[in-house]
Amino acid sequence: AQRVTQPEKLLSVFKGAPVELKCNYSYSGSPELFWYVQYSRQRLQLLLRHISRESIKGFTADLNKGETSFHLKKPFAQEEDSAMYYCGVRGSTLGRLYFGRGTQLTVWP
């Protein structure tokens, strides 16, 4: 069975500080990993995915298959980064995307 663990329910940092949102997964095979974000009063949207190896809004995430982790990082957090972040994993069959419980990030001025 697939499982996604986001150990931090809440995370607070000050503006300009580095931030890391942790995600560990348990999945057989070679899954696809994603980070989705939900800003206040907005719908859930894709932030980034591991296969793209891209940086979005200053965020990056590296897939570590040995540690089965996909932590989201940003070197200098901004107030507008405050949001709920969900890590997601999708296997190869039927396109189902499973999420962790989410981490609420608050960036203080």
Partner 1 sequence: SAVISQKPSRDICQRGTSLTIQCQVDSQVTMMFWYRQQPGQSLTLIATANQGSEATYESGFVIDKFPISRPNLTFSTLTVSNMSPEDSSIYLCSYLAGETQYFGPGTRLLVL
Residues that bind partner 1 (CB under 8 A): 4, 9, 32, 34, 43-46, 49, 51, 86, 88, 94-102
Tokens of 56: 């979005």
Nearer of residues 70 and 102 to partner 1, judged by Cβ = 102
Nearer of residues 14 and 57 to partner 1, judged by Cβ = 57
At closest approach, how far in Å is the CB of 26 from partner 1? 14
Q: For the chain, what's the residue count?
A: 109
Nearer of residues 19 and 88 to partner 1, judged by Cβ = 88
Nearer of residues 34 and 70 to partner 1, judged by Cβ = 34
At closest approach, how far in Å is the CB of 101 from partner 1? 4
SS3 at position 69:
strand
Residue ranges with strand state E in the chain: 3-5, 10-14, 19-21, 24-26, 32-38, 45-49, 60-64, 69-74, 83-90, 97-99, 103-108
Q: Are 37 and 44 in contact (CB under 8 A)?
A: yes
At closest approach, how far in Å is the CB of 61 from partner 1? 15
At closest approach, how far in Å is the CB of 53 from partner 1? 13
